[in-house]
Structure 1
Amino acid sequence: MSVTPDLFEAPRQLEPLAVPDADLRFMHAFYPPDECAALFATLMAETPWRQERIEVWGKVHDQPRLTSWHGDAGTRYTYSGITLDTCPWTPTLTRLRQDVEAATGQRYNSVLLNLYRDRHDSVGWHSDNERELGGEPVIASLSFGATRSFRLRHRERLHAPVNISLTDGSLLLMAGAMQRHWQHAVPKESREKGPRINLTFRRIQPRPG
């Protein structure tokens, strides 16, 4: 199943997507194109991007994208054996968090930024189900730059795979039992793609120290 937003009649609020065993909501053009371009340039310039090293099947590789983790004090985050150092909120990230909180009615204390530099950058199949995210995580995914495919597959293969085109300035809310029932990925592309920045706002249980 492919879920493609209507580019000509963008919804004025987050619209539910018909995906079983999950609460998914989407808004195309959360920010207008001119503002997207300015925000993309600012995020590219002021973010302390890092390329982490990950272990896959006993071998260590460069992660196929750049990342940066920002949040409140004590919001360290560990996934795939990587513990991310917490950078402070910038004025730009604070503004984006406030906008996303107003649109989703949720509160977030951290954000993971991913930079997909070209068609070769990707993220493999996974669920955001780390303990510090809670039993039913609420994650708001904000995209700037080139459109990339966001793919979903059911853990028990009960439902057909889902493909969502995450366009420039779009906002996707993932909630409910999604992380328990579905895995998601941003695969490599067969055709050339420009850079894309994705921000996933989360609420995690702060750790002491």
Structure 2
Amino acid sequence: MNNEKRLLIFERLAEATPNPTTELNFSTPFELLVAVVLSAQATDKGVNKATAKLFPLANTPQAILALGEDGLKEHIKTIGLFNSKAANVIKLCQTLLEKHGGEVPREREALEALAGVGRKTANVILNTAFGEPTIAVDTHIFRVANRIGLAPGKNVLEVERKLDKTVPKQYKKDAHHLLILHGRYICVARKPRCGACCIADVCEFKEKNLD
């Protein structure tokens, strides 16, 4: 895929979604961090339902530690893997207080050192909370990047590096959300909605579903 086509793809995606952002509800970097950790292998909708009750009671590291692990579990038990997620959130709260004055760090290395936080989560925080032009590659973005020929790669890191190198500069900050929303609602896994797609004519997917 050439740069001209890439630019056209992002122009159209940006036109279709003028204000792309996460579908997780949050009002502070800490709330976003907790929500993203909870969202692993869970839906944003399910996480939002749980955090709608959790955050009014506890939305700082101190307040969540005051709930305790069992208290936290009560609030997130509707989310998959809630036992291990509760343990990770408690640990990351302790680390934030011990090493970062209770604030979410803005450095990738410090973020990745937190319990339950990997490269993808760190990228989401850097991008969505702090406006950095990072691209977190989740299953939607991995699928879209490979399927449409935008940044083919065998693993998420390969796709991330290709996107980082080839996404037009002016779309770098929004690329993560533009691609994730496109993958979530249009370029879906089983039966992509090519007939409703704004980039169908420039996409390199050979088996288009134009019904």
Question: What's the TM-score bracket when you normalise by the shorter of the two chains?
Answer: under 0.3
Larger RCO of the pair (alpha carbons < 8 Å, separation 6+): 1
Name the structure with the higher helix share: 2
Normalized per residue, the structure richer in strand is 1
TM-score normalised over the length of structure 1: 0.24
Larger Rg: 1 or 2? 2
Q: What TM-score comes out, normalization by structure 2 length?
A: 0.24
